[in-house]
Structure 1
Amino acid sequence: MDRRQFISTTAWLGASALLAGSGRAVAQAYPSKPVTILCPFAAGGGGDALTRVLADHVRTKRSVAAAVEYRPGAGATIAPGQIARAAPDGTTLGLYSISPFVVVPHLQRLPYDPLKDFTYIGIYAYIPIAFYVKTDSAHKDWAGVIKYAKDNPGKFRWGTSGVRGAAHIAVEAAFRKEGIQTTFVPFTGGSEAITALLGGHIEAVISADYGPQLSAGTVRLLALTGTEKLAGQPSLPTFKDLGYPLSTEALYGLIGPAKLPAEIVSYWDGAIREMMKTDEFATALKAISASPVYMNSADFTANVAENYRKIGEAMETLGFKKS
């Protein structure tokens, strides 16, 4: 082989190696595998609706094989446990809601640490958690509920979408301050609790899943567990207005296992910001009485840490013990 043949052959081999390497990079570019987004609640709730909008968006606009799977139960801690154990390759992600990350860890031992075992990718929606009754209920306002419960200890029955979740604990704290005894009825999801309410099996529900029923005129809101007023209902009291120990709203976002690579976080951050501009997202927000709110990964992570600290301190003051 003469010198020119050697140079030509060497160049061809180098180019082939470069192309092969490039091909491997392309083949491995994220997301090259199906993505599962775990929802910690039963199908039919507000969190489920927003999770499906995100999955549909990346499936139709980015050609990602994304699917939502449901893991309800155990105070919404089953899905986070699976996410914490997943490989940090972006194939297993999940819906964030406040309870399993900043409330339940203060009440029971869990197979995950909310401050160490997750990557908090981004927040995209906010829903005021409401305490509500059937439209034809004899309980016309929050003050009426408190009076009834004082006059009839243990007879007022209520439920929520997650046992020992943020909504549950906030209402328990409010009732403790009022010195009343009620009967809490556990459910695995907001849709189950609403079905029980509409069927007359309980008197009230505390959840963020009231949007469709409010629009249909089948429920009436009596109070909000948070700090912010609901648009169109300025007279509806908040737990902050009422001076109760815990006041919190429902934030929804996307999480993954710890040590998720920066490029995967960036990919989903972009997808979230795209989704938030779509008509589909706006329609879903309206249906569940939610509002758009965006937090990037850094702000989201700081928010979780701060809420975890504040709620933990409040629950300790209230006497809630870890079991």
Structure 2
Amino acid sequence: MKIRNALTAATVLTLATFGAAQAQDWPSGNVDYIIPFGPGGESDITARLQQPYFAEKFGQQLVVSYQPGGGGAVGWSQLNGMAADGSVIMGVNLPHIALQPQQGDVGYQTDDIAVVHMFHYTPDAILVSADSEFQTLEDLIAHAKENPRRVIFSGSGKGTANHLAQVALDKLAGIETTYVPFQGTGASVTALLGNQVTAQWGYTTVAAQQGEAVRMLAVAMEERHAAFPDVPTFRELGYDLVGGAYRGVAVPKDASEEVKQAVADAIAAINADPDFQKQMSDGGFALSNIAYGPDMDAFMADRVAAYTEAAKSAGVIE
């Protein structure tokens, strides 16, 4: 028994030493960065922004590829079958990974996804066209109170961050509005600019891209966005609404603790770069620094609970 215990202890020590050495050497080569969507979306845009900083800081390349399907579910359902040595990482999105498994069999459960860093989010925002009669959020809410369900919002799909934000604000403001889901943010913007809807539940990135063609009435951030200092937060206006579409990086669940930490540290190092921060801000993104460990566990538990409650109110899940 003593010999067996000694061998076990030696084995554990060897594995721990190997894991630490493996993480210390990471990345030992190029890293495959899989985006579970098609090219051109915000997950792709931010991955492309990360690439040169990764190369500069770590001497290896982030090789971006795409595995679209099922709103990300195809990629996420296959993640845990991929190499767990840190040579593969994958983009992840909230509320997607929180709600998809509750809507049906998508090949994975939320707890199956080993998220190691949430590095940014696109804050929810209400936008109107530049020629809209509504100058402020208060104007729009007052109109909604007088005209139940006649204020029509476009948004990027059913059960998305936009949709859940609409449900939350309706409850907070005591209004009833109508939400029309479109196939993505681009189509939602087209509907807004074409005067097919009253306003859009979109993101700060829309304002960055559309410029003077739109007017942003409020942003779902704790503080005002640096690129839009004149736009108030919902909290400033009396509505406790903070959030958006969160994006991060995951690794296969069987990756060692050392590899998980090494990947998390690398993403955090990119986030800390002032040039990267400026690029993200200029694009309308907002950085977050939620890293692997207790902070991530608490964040995920909070977000899953909040999204689940809103999704039930929206009729997205039972």
Which TM bucket (shorter chain)? 0.7 to 0.9
| C-alpha contact (below 8 Å) 2:80/2:252 kept by paired residues | yes
Q: Deviations over 1:28-69 (max 9, x none)?
A: 975446513315475143x43322122332245434342333
How many aligned positions are there? Answer: 291
Moved more, 223-232 or 265-274: 223-232
Q: Is the 8 A contact 1:109 1:322 kept in 2?
A: no
CA root-mean-square deviation: 3.5
1:220-269 Cα shifts (integer Å, max 9, x gaps): 1123345544456477241695446x643444321122122233323323
The match for 2:35 is 38
Aligned match of 2:178: 182
CA 1:84–1:138: 2 relative to 1, 3 Å = farther
TM-score under structure 2 normalisation? 0.74
Partners of 1:272 and 1:113 in 2: how far apart? 24
Q: 1:168 aligns with which of 163, 174, 186?
A: 163
- 2:133 corresponds to 1:102: no
Paired residue secondary structure (1:90): coil
1:52 matched to 2:48: yes
Quote how far apart the aligned CAs of 1:138 are.
2.1
Matched residues in 1 for 2:30 and 2:156: separation? 32
Does the C-alpha gap of structure 1 residues 197 and 76 become closer, same or farther in structure 2, counting only changes over 3 Å? farther
Matches within 5 A, 1:69-108: 69-70=65-66, 74-108=70-104
Query: Structure 1 pair 171/303, CA: closer, same or farther in 2 (3 Å)?
Result: same
Give, in whole Å, the separation in 2 of the partners of 1:114 and 1:125: 19
Long gaps (5+) in structure 1: 1-24
2:290 maps to a residue whose letter is M
1:283 is matched with 278
Task: Flag the structure with larger Rg.
Answer: 1
- CA distance in 1 between partners of 2:314 and 2:193 (Å): 33
Return closer, same or farther for 1:41/1:141 CA change in 2, 3 Å cut-off.
farther
CA distance in 1, matches of 2:70, 2:152: 21
- What secondary structure sits across from 1:125 in the alignment? strand
**Residue type of the alignment partner of 1:213:** Q
Q: TM-score, normalised by structure 1?
A: 0.73
Distance 1:255 1:89 in 2: 13
Q: Is the 8 A contact 1:211 1:288 kept in 2?
A: no
Q: What is the letter of the counterpart of residue 34 of structure 2?
A: I
User: Contact 2:217 / 2:231 at 8 angstroms: preserved in 1?
Assistant: no
Residues 219, 234 of structure 2: 8 Å contact kept = yes
In the alignment, structure 1 residue 265 sits paired with structure 2 residue 260: yes
Give the residue type in structure 2 aligned to 1:38: I
Which residue of structure 1 aligns with residue 129 of structure 2?
A: 134
| CA distance in structure 2 between the aligned counterparts of 1:112 and 1:35, rounded to whole angstroms | 21
